[in-house]
Chains A and B, each alone.
Chain A
Amino acid sequence: MIYFNDFTTVFLSILLESFPFLLLGALIASIIHLVTDERGLERFLPRSPLLQMVAACFLGFLFPVCECAVIPVARALIRRGVPVSTAIVFMLASPIINPIALFATYTAARSDWSIVVIRAGLGLFIALVCGLLLRKKSASEVLLPENPEQKEDHDHHHTHGKISFLVRHTLNEFWQVGFFLIIGAAVSSSVQQFLPVEAVLFFRSNGVLSIAVMQIMGYLLSLCSYADAFVAMGFSSVFPMPAIFAFLIISPLIDVKNTLVLSTCFKKEFIVSLIGKLFLFSFLAALIIMLSRSYG
């Protein structure tokens, strides 16, 4: 009974935290649909694809929401003519570079700026590399086709008022993405409650394995990017620092909850390939930290 009570408490807390962020993301996505036409955003972006991606990295600094909110926004950006690579860089970089997440990392790292800089630097670098690898992808190659309800929404925009469109479109995004968020929250709460700590500790002494274990932990726990640093640093007495960095880097980029949310917007092959890249690059980043012996 105690375990069930703890499960419902954690499950509810994830949803109570995520729903407002999801709604905010859905509202911003709806505003993008409302105020821009098909290729409306393209003219505001730099010409050079690399400059576009660099700009997208730092846009997250002005957009302080965590990862579940940026997915509908990224989809809206792609639908409004922003190149896939730029939108994906924005989606990956926002949860890392946003000021609240940076401040939380600084606090959790007990005022050690180097941890903040390495986490943000490597996270942004991985986002940029993923963007570069997606340079040739078109919207139709990565996005799922619009469902009839979304199409109806967009037509509704022309026949009814703007406020009506905003409310309807935002709610539809919220219901659609929120469904997967609820499933993700249930999976993540179960992992938190039932994952035996001994199973995790078993791998801590092997440097390379400990990196992989902490990556999987970061993925399964599905923590908000405002809080994951506190959890990661809680493991710093148990795991070597490269493994802690592996957790810190992968956690804001991708997790169970977001994988399910991504599946509402993006094609399965694209999601699998993106997750593979993110795991590979964050593993290599942690490995470089380990080999450079900068941290323990």
Chain B
Amino acid sequence: MILLKRRVGSLFSLILQTGLLGMYVSLLYSGDMQNYLTTKLMPFVYFFLVFFALSVVWQIKSVIQGGKESIPAGRLLFAVPVLIVILAPTNTLSSSGLKKGAALLSATGTGVATENSSAPRTKKFSTIKIDEKNYFDRHNEFYDPGFVAANRGRRIEVSGLLFSDQELCYSDQGFIGRYSVACCIADAQPLVFGLLFEEDFSFDSEEEWIIVSGVVTEAEFPQGKFPAIKVESVRPNEQELFNPYVYPPGTELFGNLFQH
């Protein structure tokens, strides 16, 4: 009986190994891996694939030869991530994390400066087009002290998820943002810009993927004054595939090995 249990254990181990291997392969093949990890981790993922592929072969051989392995019940836990990938659709993060970013922004009033403030690092732009390559840097610069003073009235265009929050903005205000991801989605940092509309703005739905054009200004939000975009036009983002993530400079250390 014990022998039979241990043989079943070997088989069960094989199923788990195959499941974990299949999870990585399917996410890579479908391109959904980029919803979880950045490209710089790909060499480690490939190492995992190679080792697990070899270990599956080794385990098959072991099962055929009547391998005996006792399986602690805790090992069942490894089935959880595999089942999530199989049963739940792949998701990107919702705007709930961006709202946390907006709350942080509101709490600090970052970047507010007077016309006379000295800010030697502040850049002056003619027009500011924020795309996925420069999102991280431009967001940081936007909240540099003195940015508004140096760039008030300059044209600015940015894409992202549109959202509002009753506690954080008035009815003619909103936010747009994306997440900066360095390694995996667990380290996603909200990068949020405040928006000021000409009149009360009605949101058709939360999580709209849009492009906003306008000019640099600063606005009085419920929690204080901070840099914002005075919106002149809002249009659906048909230029880019939906992707709420941007990557800070230096995160493609090993190159883009798997992008579809």
For chain B, give the interface size range. 35 or more
Q: Please determine whether A20 and B47 come into contact, CB atoms closer than 8 angstroms.
A: yes
10 additional A-B residue pairs with CB within 8 Å, beyond A170-B55, A182-B81: A11-B81, A16-B36, A16-B45, A17-B186, A20-B45, A179-B77, A182-B80, A197-B103, A223-B187, A230-B189
Nearest Cβ on chain B to A175's Cβ, whole angstroms: 6
Q: Please determine whether A13 and B36 come into contact, CB atoms closer than 8 angstroms.
A: yes
The residue from B13, B78, B103 contacting A178, defined by CB atoms under 8 A apart: B78
The majority secondary structure among interface residues of chain A is helix
- Mark out the residues of chain B between 19 and 45 whose CB falls within 8 Å of any chain A CB in the assembled complex: 20, 24, 27, 33, 35-37, 40-41, 44-45
Q: Please determine whether A24 and B44 come into contact, CB atoms closer than 8 angstroms.
A: yes
Q: Mark B81-97, 1 if CB is under 8 A from A, else 0.
A: 10011001001111011
- Mark out the residues of chain B between 218 and 249 whose CB falls within 8 Å of any chain A CB in the assembled complex: 248-249
Determine whether B60 belongs to the interface, using a CB cutoff of 8 Å to chain A: no
Residues in B neighbouring A19, C-beta threshold 8 A:
20, 48
Among all A-B residue pairs, the 10 with the closest Cβ atoms: A227-B187, A20-B44, A13-B185, A227-B183, A20-B48, A107-B250, A13-B36, A227-B182, A13-B184, A17-B184
Residues in B neighbouring A164, C-beta threshold 8 A:
58
Determine whether A162 belongs to the interface, using a CB cutoff of 8 Å to chain B: no
Q: Please determine whether A228 and B85 come into contact, CB atoms closer than 8 angstroms.
A: no
- Of all chain B residues, the one with the shortest Cβ separation from A222 is B186
- Of listed B78, B110, B185, B253, residue having the most chain A CB within 10 A: B185
Q: Please determine whether B250 and A16 come into contact, CB atoms closer than 8 angstroms.
A: no
* Total contacts A-B at CB 8 Å: 150
A290 to B13, CA, bound (A): 52
Q: Please determine whether B185 and A230 come into contact, CB atoms closer than 8 angstroms.
A: no
Determine whether B159 belongs to the interface, using a CB cutoff of 8 Å to chain A: no
Q: How many residues of A contact B (CB 8 A)?
A: 58
Residues in B neighbouring A10, C-beta threshold 8 A:
93, 185-186
Residues in A neighbouring B108, C-beta threshold 8 A:
237-238
Residues in A neighbouring B96, C-beta threshold 8 A:
2-3, 6
Residues in A neighbouring B36, C-beta threshold 8 A:
9, 12-13, 16-17
Determine whether B75 belongs to the interface, using a CB cutoff of 8 Å to chain A: yes
- Interface residues, chain A, with chain B CB atoms under 8 Å away: 2-3, 5-6, 8-17, 19-21, 23-24, 27, 100, 103-104, 106-108, 110, 149, 163-164, 167, 170-171, 175, 178-179, 182-183, 188-189, 192, 197-198, 201, 204, 221-224, 226-228, 230-231, 234-235, 237-238
- Of all chain B residues, the one with the shortest Cβ separation from A99 is B253
Determine whether B116 belongs to the interface, using a CB cutoff of 8 Å to chain A: no
Residues in B neighbouring A170, C-beta threshold 8 A:
51, 55
Residues in B neighbouring A14, C-beta threshold 8 A:
184, 186
Q: Please determine whether B85 and A12 come into contact, CB atoms closer than 8 angstroms.
A: yes
The residue from B33, B84, B248 contacting A11, defined by CB atoms under 8 A apart: B84
Nearest Cβ on chain B to A254's Cβ, whole angstroms: 17
Determine whether B175 belongs to the interface, using a CB cutoff of 8 Å to chain A: no
Residues in A neighbouring B180, C-beta threshold 8 A:
230, 234
* Known contacts A6-B93, A9-B93, A201-B107: A23-B37 contact under CB 8 Å: no
Q: Please determine whether B182 and A108 come into contact, CB atoms closer than 8 angstroms.
A: yes
Q: Please determine whether A228 and B94 come into contact, CB atoms closer than 8 angstroms.
A: no
A178 to B76, CA, bound (A): 11
The residue from B13, B58, B187 contacting A231, defined by CB atoms under 8 A apart: B187
A149 to B71, CA, bound (A): 10
Residues in B neighbouring A224, C-beta threshold 8 A:
183-184, 186-187
Residues in B neighbouring A192, C-beta threshold 8 A:
186
Q: Please determine whether B103 and A171 come into contact, CB atoms closer than 8 angstroms.
A: no
Q: Please determine whether B94 and A2 come into contact, CB atoms closer than 8 angstroms.
A: yes
A192 to B96, CA, bound (A): 11
Determine whether B4 belongs to the interface, using a CB cutoff of 8 Å to chain A: no
Residues in A neighbouring B249, C-beta threshold 8 A:
107
The residue from A6, A9, A171, A237 contacting B110, defined by CB atoms under 8 A apart: A237
- Of all chain B residues, the one with the shortest Cβ separation from A172 is B69
- Of all chain A residues, the one with the shortest Cβ separation from B188 is A10
Residues in B neighbouring A235, C-beta threshold 8 A:
104
Determine whether B118 belongs to the interface, using a CB cutoff of 8 Å to chain A: no
Residues in B neighbouring A238, C-beta threshold 8 A:
104, 107-108
- Of all chain B residues, the one with the shortest Cβ separation from A22 is B48
Residues in A neighbouring B13, C-beta threshold 8 A:
171
A189 to B81, CA, bound (A): 13
A237 to B183, CA, bound (A): 22
The residue from B70, B81, B93, B104 contacting A201, defined by CB atoms under 8 A apart: B104
